[in-house]
Amino acid sequence: MNTLFDKIWDAHVVSSIENGPTILYIDRHYVHEVTSPQAFNGLRTRGLKVFRPLQTTLTADHNIPTLHQDQPVQDPISRNQLDTFEKNAKDFQLPLFFPMGHAKNGVVHIIGPENGFTQPGMTIVCGDSHTSTHGAFGAIAFGIGTSEVEMVLATQCILQTRPKTMRITFNGKLNKGVTAKDLALYMISKLTTGGATGYFVEYAGEAIRNMNMEERMTVCNLSIEMGARGGMIAPDETTFAYLKDREYAPKGEEWNKKLAYWKTLYSDQDAVFDKEYTFDVSEISPMITYGTNPGMGMGIDQTIPTLEQVDEAGRISFEKALNYMGFRPGEKLLGKQIDYVFLGSCTNGRIEDFRTFAQFVKGKKKADNVIAWLVPGSRKVEKQIHDEGLHEILMEAGFELRQPGCSACLAMNDDKVPAGKYAVSTSNRNFEGRQGPGARTILAGPLVAAAAAVTGKITDPREFLS
């Protein structure tokens, strides 16, 4: 009568502190350049080595340019951070190091799965809140701070308090024109941005089972946007088929052994969750956000809530958000002119997202008023875009492809949306200034982004689908 979460958690408990946290063993540690330098410094100060180098995978993603990656990075502070990252990988003898330009480089939550590092039943951490992405494989995966990065580097363990469990079941089939991103934005709009704080979520139901791995990753990726410690989906044939023959996935006899174990990873029939929600996905339309947190979302053809529809306690924050966005309570956003489109990030920077976008814009033209940044999530995604001929379709429609990285999702590099401009973005956060100081972000899925890119305004993609 265990949940999927219980089974994996219990198998990784090294010991428990009375009235305190658990020492949890970590199978895979992903490391990137921004949240790790202080942790490596900590190891140096204490005279420690990295305890399990082969369980540590490193990629540069947050702070790299998406143009001219073959040339030295211009910004000296960014360059120093990248050089420091390389020096740390070398000093601490970490062979799974994929710097900018490497064939396996890319956004950490994209390269992990695509190279087969992420596997069912694992515990996975990274100094990044979107580590929840890897839960799509039936793993316990969550984001950590830099002190915790240091802990894991030093001991391959972390001190964690056991979260509560939540199951969210999605019944039915998604309507035409509705993507996994829309499902997730819908869920967050219902649960709010803190609605799952303290919980680890399992996603279940027909709509989840019907999703491919890329779509499942999109859903799990956004778990943190409703505060959840992480999100996960029980592995099935879709999961196993995705993993088979990936470079770092088990092979031969080892594969068979692991597969037998992975097939035991599901929530038992009588498993009890601390909280359950059920949604009928046929009610979901393409979604957009109108405010400054991912919970402020609505169907693309709906109107922003009026002041009266908002809790009194939340009105100051609501008005502050709309003021920042330049929107009015009760306003409809369909037809609103936009300035930028961003396709990419650990949420929607996978090959499926580029297929969806390319298929939509095929035979159409990018609107003149739109600057579009199409940023593949990894070198492999980039290569596949070329191999599948998507690049030609995109070029034909007036789009250019940039090089892999986190890019305009958090705007640490030069990919910043100017103040006051509207960006329809397939990323994960519409916080004030997230895509550049003063930038106004409208979160959406790849189809809504594609429709905005070709019309220059907020457009319901269903208008174009026969």
Q: Given the rule CB under 8 A, which residues bind another protein?
A: 11, 14-15, 17-21, 23, 25, 34-35, 37-38, 41-42, 46, 48, 62-63, 75, 77-78, 80-81, 84, 121, 127-129, 143-148, 150-151, 154-157, 159, 161, 163, 193-194, 197-198, 224, 227, 229, 258, 261, 293, 313-314, 316-317, 320, 410-412, 429, 431-434, 437
Q: What minimum distance in Å lies between the beta carbon of 146 and another protein?
A: 4
Separation between Cα atoms, residue 450 and residue 466, nearest integer Å: 16
Side-chain-facing half-sphere of 260: CA atoms under 13 Å: 5
Using the 8-state DSSP alphabet, how is residue 201 labeled?
E
Q: Which is nearer to another protein, 154 or 334 (CB)?
A: 154
Phi, psi (deg, nearest 5) at residue 182 = -65, -40
Task: Give the β-pairing of 22-25 and 157-160.
Answer: antiparallel
> Which is nearer to another protein, 155 or 285 (by Cβ)?
155
Q: 142 - beta bridge partners?
A: 125
Of 35, 37, 21, nearest to 80 by C-alpha is 37
Cα 6 to Cα 171: distance, rounded to the nearest angstrom: 24
Q: How far is the CB of 160 from another protein (least distance, A)?
A: 9
Within 8 A by CB and 6+ apart from 341, the residues are: 370, 371, 372, 373, 423, 424, 425, 449, 452, 453
Using left for φ > 0, alpha for ψ between -120 and 50, and beta otherwise, residue 93 falls in left
| CB nearer another protein, residue 87 or residue 383 | 87
Say which residue the tokens 């709906």 belong to.
302
Please state the closest distance from residue 144 (CB atom) to another protein, in A. 6
Instruction: Output the smallest distance, CB 104 to another protein, in A.
Output: 23
At its nearest, how many Å lie between another protein and the CB of residue 301? Answer: 26
* Residue 33 or 382 having the CB closest to another protein: 33
Toward another protein, which CB reaches closer, 1 or 316? 316
How many other β-carbons are positioned within 10 Å of the β-carbon of residue 313?
8
Q: Which is nearer to another protein, 388 or 432 (CB)?
A: 432
In angstroms, what is the minimal distance from the CB of 458 to another protein?
23
- Using the minimum distance from each CB to another protein, give the nearer residue, 176 or 320: 320
Q: How far is the CB of 295 from another protein (least distance, A)?
A: 8
Residue 57 tokens read as 């995978």
Write out the H or E segment, with its range, that includes residue 279.
Answer: strand 275-280
